Chains A and B, each alone.
Chain A
């Protein structure tokens, strides 16, 4: 198969859900065997856009996902640096521990966390939801930054230090620029995973924090295709935009992106 065909087929597979949601979001009573909707109505879609609850959920999702990517980078950077640039006893164990959340189903951890967080007074707060999102997010950030540190040449840092640069200066002017693609990609991955999180937000948010996936899932339970399609579109658009923006970083192998299945 030629390269071009593969790219086009993959693009088509990506476009199908978007196209079908676009049609369903504005279709009215579109049933078998009608190939094309007879009645169109944008009222439902527009109502969703204007709905205060949806706007709030969108805002909260945005705050949470942004916060999570910031925190994940702040926590993940030093960890990845230590794990990749130093050899020490227990390194494998720690890597293994960081890897665990990617394979243990969230069903197994979700409810227990709920109780722990209620005890700590974090349930139902934005901070609590962000912290809990870090569990599925951090492994990917550490792995992504780690594989980029594996290629990292520390001599640049040493040279800067020898020339009298402060550690802070070295960090901002040497390390960050060198790792920028990887940092951007890790941040985007973190945003993506956090944005799509349903169970953990539901359990820790406890209804006080309402995020977009919660609206989407409750709509899905009602089977109204136009509503599901509208919310799905609102849900995936920011992700597509974001990934489109950083596509050039993502495409380069130097970032060491470790995507999520």
Chain B
């Protein structure tokens, strides 16, 4: 009697579930119609500004930094309202990958008009959205201010090795740097290569760590990638198309380096910080001697936000410091594409570009535009001036230029992440 009842119950449950699945399935077959927003004419910019008048632009942006939030509200929010009568709705995300999921779900549900107008996007998420065909096409190089962008530069037209193809527009630039505490270390004591870093770590056991490479922690992946450049004797050979042979030749040497380094690391490499902020916190509390940043203002914005001590300074190795650009993208389902285009264009405004690099404004990343392409002498002077006011906490521009390397093919990214996971972390 009892078992029969139970079987009956089970049958009811299974029946319900299959009903639900079936009802979901029947809907999914409806084809998604093309987004209605393609009618905007980028050749007639005034018409776009007109269409954007009175709109609200929903900008999904990483919200973990109080100073960046304030920079966005104060500089872009105000300018949008005053110049174009557009309201900025800054949507703070804990992780931009959430936006990718949101867009995927919207697509799956057959929505042609979503919730997201503009995304501050990183290379991984860009590749995902490009793969899923979820980005608005043919606009990045058509913005009026995109004349200031050096599209011929491979660092600009490739995002983490993925061709940009006018699917996004740059916001700012960044370059890998380390941070040290000038109250504890002299500039002359700093390691200037991966080999020297290993020597330093083993002379000061437990005082060095780095961010675990992996999805969402590109800084760690980059740290390992740069070591690959050094152990293989130079970055040039890695440029161009993905080369499996080259990877097979050098990756064992790379894991050798990291396994030798491990014994001298913080907690002997049994654990690694997961994010940049975890490393900042270890550094600020004196647990480790170096942190990692990508900001052109170096430690400046971090000092301003009280994340690191005021005596923090930035430095680079002599070579192999990867630099790149970061972008904003518009989903193909954006409800207010005109306002998103206006904002993307505003971001490239030379005056706002000059404001964004100054550490006191709270953003601190570098120029997305090429200052030499700005012909107006007053604006050009502004950009040059700002670049000279980065303060002590920034790495000298000449050091940055000397060590700058561009990123390499996207395939290496996941090879490094999986290889590090298997050969270093879980070993």
Contact = CB atoms under 8 A, between A and B. Distances in A.
Interface of A: 28-29, 31-33, 44, 53, 89-90, 92-93, 97, 111, 114-116, 118-119, 123-124, 202-203, 206-208, 210, 214-215, 217-224, 226-227
A248 B114 CA distance: 47
Interface stretch (B225-233, B246-254, B304-312, B410-418): B304-312
Interface stretch (B42-50, B89-97, B184-192, B398-406): B89-97
A44 B305 CA distance: 10
Interface string B56-78: 00101011111000000000000
B9 A207 contact: no
Contacts of B94: 214, 217-218, 220-221
A199 B111 CA distance: 21
Given A203-B105, A218-B93, A222-B62, 15 more contacts: A31-B284, A31-B286, A115-B24, A116-B24, A118-B111, A203-B101, A206-B115, A207-B58, A207-B91, A219-B66, A220-B94, A221-B275, A221-B277, A223-B275, A223-B307
B1 interface: no
B109 interface: yes
Nearest to B98: A202
B165 interface: no
A16 B287 CA distance: 24
B236 interface: no
Interface of B: 5, 9, 12-13, 24, 27, 58, 60, 62-66, 90-95, 98-99, 101-102, 105-106, 108-111, 114-116, 275-278, 280-281, 284-287, 305-307, 309-310
A89 to B, nearest CB: 8
Given A28-B306, A29-B306, A44-B66, A118 B105 contact: yes
Contacts of B63: 215, 218-219, 221-222
B71 to A, nearest CB: 13
A32 B282 CA distance: 10
> What does DSSP make chain B's interface, helix, strand, loop or mixed?
mixed
Contacts of B99: 207
Given A221-B94, A223-B277, A115 B105 contact: yes
A222 B12 contact: no
A29 B309 CA distance: 7
Contacts of B108: 115, 118
25 contacts: A29-B310, A31-B309, A32-B285, A33-B286, A89-B5, A93-B13, A111-B101, A118-B105, A118-B106, A118-B108, A119-B27, A123-B109, A203-B102, A203-B105, A206-B102, A207-B58, A207-B116, A210-B91, A217-B94, A219-B66, A220-B64, A223-B307, A224-B65, A224-B305, A224-B307
A119 B26 CA distance: 12
A218 B92 contact: yes
A234 to B, nearest CB: 14
B115 A223 contact: no
Given A206-B102, A210-B91, A218-B63, A223 B278 contact: yes
A118 B310 CA distance: 48
Given A31-B285, A32-B285, A207-B102, A227 B66 contact: yes
Contact of A222 (B98, B277, B285): B277
A111 B105 contact: yes
